[in-house]
Amino acid sequence: MSLLEVHNLTKYFGGLCANHDISFSLEKGELLGLIGPNGAGKTTLFNCICGYYPVTSGRVIFDGEDITHLRAYEVARRGLARTFQVYVASGDLNVEENVMVGAFMRNRSRMRARAEAREILKELKLEPLAQNLVSELPVAAQKRVAMATALASGPKLLLLDEVAAGLNPSEIDEIMAIIRHIHEDLGVTIILIEHVMELVMRVSQRVIVLESGRKIAEGEPQVVAKDPEVIKAYLGERYAKEQMETST
């Protein structure tokens, strides 16, 4: 049984179709990349899966349960966590306290939540920043805190929405290492939305491509990168040429 199954998911906003008849499945332990141009419907798909948006039609099955019509907090309690493109940190909470918010998803005990938060901070190498206000941290550190907060909820599936956006090459390498650690060492299944193709191609086991709300390709990263429809819709001829030169 797949961990996540999306069946013919469609989402309309008035007369605008943001997601059209999207279907895919995700096995436990996979790391799936979700790519496509701006406005392709990637974040909308995340929001539908997580219960932030009601779907127009279709079904979402998570860990054997139909969660299509559950609210976001009900979905989160079942072990599905996510980050957002823009992380808005509370101005009066420090890093440790922000991560505790995620831990409270499973624990009412403040002492236990703090202990779990500290363990997550250690895993993501954020211990030195534990007492800093998140709002005062640089963007790269804020993104790591967002990942830590989601991870503290104990997810079976983690949805990461453009965690490398706005970062420099060295920061992207750090984020890439953290994603691999969460996936390979902590055993968390991941779906990753990202525009940084180097990251997507290096960490994803499989890639799905959306364009204008529709799924236009699915497969191994190296295969999808050579798909003429994907090149035309998103990657561009220059990227495809660079990939060909790298592989030869």
- The predicted pLDDT at position 246 comes to 57
- The predicted pLDDT at position 247 comes to 52
- The mean-pLDDT minimum among 42-46, 198-202, 242-246 falls in 242-246
Q: Is 206 a member of any domain?
A: no
Q: What is the mean pLDDT of the chain?
A: 92
Q: Is 142 a member of any domain?
A: yes
More confident call, 234 vs 129: 129
pLDDT tens-digit map of 156-201: 999 999 999 999 999 999 999 999 999 999 999 999 999 998 899 9
Instruction: Return the biggest CA–CA distance within the chain.
Output: 56
Q: Is 4 a member of any domain?
A: no
Q: Is 208 a member of any domain?
A: no
Please name the residues in contact with 175: beta carbons below 8 A apart, sequence gap of 6 or more: 140, 143, 144, 163, 164, 167, 199
- The predicted pLDDT at position 236 comes to 73
Asked if residue 34 has pLDDT above 90, the reply is yes
Closest CA to 55 of 70, 42, 38: 70
Structural domain boundaries enclosing 91: 86-154
Q: Is 104 a member of any domain?
A: yes
**Beta carbons within 10 angstroms of residue 229's beta carbon:** 12
What number is the average pLDDT over the span 113-121?
95
- The predicted pLDDT at position 91 comes to 66
Q: Is 227 a member of any domain?
A: no
- The predicted pLDDT at position 232 comes to 86
- In this prediction, residue 89 has a pLDDT band, given cuts at 50, 70 and 90, of low
Asked if residue 239 has pLDDT above 80, the reply is no
Q: Is 90 a member of any domain?
A: yes
- The predicted pLDDT at position 1 comes to 79
**Beta carbons within 10 angstroms of residue 130's beta carbon:** 16
Q: Is 149 a member of any domain?
A: yes
* φ, ψ for residue 112, nearest 5 deg: -70, -40
- The predicted pLDDT at position 241 comes to 57
- The predicted pLDDT at position 208 comes to 97
Cα distance between residue 45 and residue 22, in whole Å: 9
How many structural domains are present in the chain?
Answer: 1
- In this prediction, residue 233 has a pLDDT band, given cuts at 50, 70 and 90, of confident
